[in-house]
Amino acid sequence: MTNKKLTELPERSTSQTVMVVDDERVVRDVLCMFLERKGYKTVALKDGHSAISMAGKQKPDVIFLDMKMPGLDGIKTCRRLKRVLRSSPGTGIIMITGYDPGMDLESLHASGAIDVISKPFDLKDISRRINIWFEVRDIKSKAIRARKYSEKLDRHLKLGLVK
């Protein structure tokens, strides 16, 4: 894996969707503009309730979720999103926080978030995080396929269909 691959979000014609959930409009606008220029479809939402409702319909590939929002906070939203997206395990949720991410890492991990980014963030960091998530997701998918193939091969060996 080259440094360039991790730091640059490739131009792409994609059907991949990124959801941005933040109560600060400027954060939503900046992230969505950046991601749209890179070829992603974006959905911008200002609160956790909207995200939960929309996620079930959209099935986004990545969700950037503000940790501290009025009403339903990011941790609770993340937990509910994971339940809504149970049938879409390929969705990665990345928390965004203006606070020290070390202050509640246990809750972050337990919520199902795959990563956390501190505000103010660098758009190159956003690129890296998305690329890493897609690589991890692809590796997990390949591992699942390999495990299923191995199990099938084991069954065939036990039945004497393969020597």
CATH of residue 146: 3.40.50.2300
pLDDT over 90 (residue 89) = no
In a domain? residue 5: no
Block residue for tokens 């950037």: 64
Listed range (47-51, 76-80, 139-143) with the worst mean pLDDT = 139-143
pLDDT over 80 (residue 126) = yes
pLDDT over 80 (residue 127) = yes
* Total-model pTM: 0.80
9: alpha, beta or left? (left if phi > 0; alpha if psi -120 to 50)? beta
Using a pLDDT cut of 90, give the percent of the chain over it: 37
In a domain? residue 1: no
Mean pLDDT of 57-86: 90
pLDDT over 60 (residue 78) = yes
Using a pLDDT cut of 70, give the percent of the chain over it: 87
In a domain? residue 2: no
In a domain? residue 44: yes
In a domain? residue 163: no
Mean pLDDT of 130-159: 87
Domain interval for residue 65: 12-158
In a domain? residue 6: no
Mean pLDDT of 110-121: 86
In a domain? residue 140: yes
Confidence band of 29 (pLDDT split at 50, 70, 90):
very high
Number of domains in the chain: 1
How many angstroms separate the CA atoms of 33 and 135, rounded? 23
How many angstroms separate the CA atoms of 34 and 40, rounded? 9
**CA dihedral for 35, 40, 41, 45, sign (positive or negative):** negative
In a domain? residue 121: yes
